[in-house]
């Protein structure tokens, strides 16, 4: 139970952090790539909540799908960095947060029967 709460907190904190970052995107990208990134993180957080409250065999498919969502998020974050929307220090911090959430998700999946 502690891991699930922690992964939710980490994802929530990433969402909060990214909302601040996305405010500084160029106007046209704020509503394109920015919305997509924010939507992906929101979807990931919602999937963790659904998995937390799911029973038995329902958890694993939700968490496996979340791995795919995390991979999509990594690519969008990388694209924004390569387009110069934030510095390398911020990119590194964002990727660390995403990697940690991915590790926690993997641990949760492995803990399931």
- The enclosing domain of 77 has a CATH number of 1.20.1440.60
Nearest to 36 by CA among 64, 72, 7, 65: 72
Does residue 103 register a pLDDT over 70? Answer: yes
- Full domain range(s) for residue 71: 2-111
Report the chain's C-alpha Rg in angstroms: 14
Is residue 23 classed as helix, strand or coil in its secondary structure?
coil
Question: Are 104 and 3 in contact, with CB atoms under 8 Å apart?
Answer: yes
CB 74 within 8 A of CB 99: no
pLDDT tens across 17-60, in order? 999 999 999 999 999 999 999 999 999 999 999 999 999 899 99
Total domains in the fold of the chain: 1
* Per-residue pLDDT reduced to its tens digit, 63-87: 999 999 999 999 999 999 999 999 9
pTM over 0.75: yes
Helix (H) or strand (E) holding 30: helix 27-30
């Amino acid at each position: 139970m502690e891991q699930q709460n922690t992964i939710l907190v980490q994802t929530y904190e990433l969402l909060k952090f990214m909302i601040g970052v996305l405010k500084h995107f160029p106007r046209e990208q704020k509503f394109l790539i920015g919305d997509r990134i924010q939507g992906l993180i929101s979807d990931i957080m919602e999937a963790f909540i659904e998995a937390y409250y799911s029973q038995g065999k329902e958890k694993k498919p939700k968490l496996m799908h979340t791995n795919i969502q995390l991979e999509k998020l990594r690519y969008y974050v990388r694209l924004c960095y390569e387009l110069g929307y934030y510095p390398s220090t911020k990119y590194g911090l964002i990727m660390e947060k995403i990697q940690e959430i991915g590790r926690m998700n993997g641990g949760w999946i492995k803990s399931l029967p």
